[in-house]
Structure 1
């Protein structure tokens, strides 16, 4: 019987990307403690070092996700290497967009050391790693579609957070007010509204609310 070849390298070469120097140093130190991993580079962001990333050819990228990174999900070339993201608010993510961008793992930022190391080893061997809460949020998105009888051939799925933002738009709240209500930044609110417009194929808040009501996404 032929033996199955294990594609995982003997030593997994990891690149750490985190805007915070404290988080960056902490992740690198934690991973270097594992005999199976070696951190080849720690970066503050992806955009500034995209050429260096290609040159170094990491086996896995561990990426501390934050609100300023949301626009990156549409740039799949950024994730040509197996990438795990650590994210604070799992409800904010659009799972389909992340997977389409080449993300191979999604974990909470407060994941335990053993969980992160196990996820890196799994992704390095070609697997996709999703934390249970990610699966639960995906199920909520599916239930929203089912409840509203949305034709998924016509629009993309709104995330639970985008539905919350859309609901608040019915009250005519400003971006600042929406941000205060949801305890997120105005930058994140702007991103969510832009995403809502794109997914619902509208260009104004009024149109978004009208379409949302018609699809059963929001209630007055």
Structure 2
């Protein structure tokens, strides 16, 4: 599996150096460059678009990235280090769907896992802000018996089908060409949407709702 290409935007040279060291220490990640602002980063990368940008600059940075990289190219996924990660206004300013919003005090392991997650198209949000979003936007479906549940994504259905086949996390990761941590994110989402507490229950509920057939 190719490493995730990561660039860094931070006003402080110390923060940039710290994030660079963090990225370079992870075999799953590849550091591509850093800068104090989006415009300088684009010049530094000379047309190369990273998979993920880690930044401690407020969300407007993503708009700059969206316009300055090649036209028609999707903007990189974003890991935002914020003083107020629970602010709903941050989400309104982010044009990309794959995003992680973390505290400036996030642990190195949290940042690495979040980079891998957004590279796989996932979002990483605090429990508080996630609860607010789900309360207003969660799409739900109802079975013939009136039971309500949230629809799974196509990738989640793939993972659920592999669970039904008895595959473990590492085998699922290998077959889907994703990391073990990404598999864990998908499983957590599946369990939450179906209301399952373990793998067996998730499979049973998936069959009941028609997501998989065994």
TM-score under structure 1 length normalisation = 0.50
The DSSP-based 3-state class of the residue aligned with 1:25 is: helix
How far, CA to CA, are the matches of 2:44 and 2:97 in structure 1?
A: 19
Work out whether residues 74 and 97 of structure 1, in 8 Å CA contact, stay in contact via their aligned partners in 2.
no
Work out whether residues 106 and 134 of structure 1, in 8 Å CA contact, stay in contact via their aligned partners in 2.
no
Aligned pair partner of 1:50 in 14, 29, 42: 42
RMSD (Å), alpha carbons: 2.8
Aligned pair partner of 1:90 in 81, 85, 101: 85
Instruction: For residue 73 of structure 1, report the CA deviation from its aligned partner.
Output: 6.3
Work out whether residues 6 and 30 of structure 2, in 8 Å CA contact, stay in contact via their aligned partners in 1.
yes
Q: Equivalent residue for 2:185? A: none
Work out whether residues 87 and 109 of structure 1, in 8 Å CA contact, stay in contact via their aligned partners in 2.
yes
Written as runs of structure 1 = structure 2, the 5 A alignment for 1:3-152 is 10-53=2-45, 55-65=47-57, 69=58, 71-72=60-61, 77=66, 80-100=75-95, 104-136=99-131, 138=133
Work out whether residues 60 and 94 of structure 2, in 8 Å CA contact, stay in contact via their aligned partners in 1.
no
Q: Equivalent residue for 1:165? A: none
Instruction: For residue 131 of structure 1, report the CA deviation from its aligned partner.
Output: 2.4
Query: Across the two proteins, how many residue pairs are aligned to each other?
Result: 130
- Which protein is richer in helix relative to its size? 1
Instruction: For residue 96 of structure 1, report the CA deviation from its aligned partner.
Output: 4.0
How far, CA to CA, are the matches of 1:46 and 1:126 in structure 2?
A: 22
TM-score under structure 2 length normalisation = 0.51
How far, CA to CA, are the matches of 1:16 and 1:76 in structure 2?
A: 12
Instruction: For residue 134 of structure 1, report the CA deviation from its aligned partner.
Output: 2.8
Unaligned runs of 5+ in 2: 68-73, 137-214
How far, CA to CA, are the matches of 1:56 and 1:45 in structure 2?
A: 16
Describe the shift of the 1:102–1:135 C-alpha distance in structure 2 as closer, same or farther (beyond 3 A): closer
